[in-house]
Structure 1
């Protein structure tokens, strides 16, 4: 199953949406924008998972799209 992640950069001032084992494909100023983009990717690439990390790089949410 394909995975997408939402993670902050090292300073947590921008957020990246990344497909597994690739360079980040999208960069956003706000976490909410990155999460919405990742959810859209999840809907478009079923079946997959979206893993969302907070500004401490801790997993906070895991969404599954079937």
Structure 2
């Protein structure tokens, strides 16, 4: 199962979509935009899951596809 995560960047000025918690896919200004992109990628690569982190890097939500 592939894993994607939405995490804040170092200064919490943007949100990253990361693949397997290794490679950042892209930086987004808005958290909601990053979540939408992560969900889209996960839906196209089933089975997969998306971990959505808060500004403290704690898991806030998990979605499985």
| Same fold, TM-score > 0.5, yes or no | yes
Q: Give every structure 1 segment of 4 or more consecutive aligned residues whose post-TM-superposition deviation is greater than 4 Å.
A: none
Q: 1:1-66 maps to which residues of 2 (within 5 A)?
A: 1-65=1-65
| C-alpha contact (below 8 Å) 2:6/2:53 kept by paired residues | yes
Aligned length: 65
Unaligned runs of 5+ in 1: none
3-state SS of 1:39 partner: helix
Give the alignment's TM-score, normalised by structure 2.
0.94
Structure 2: gaps (5+ residues): none
RMSD: 0.9
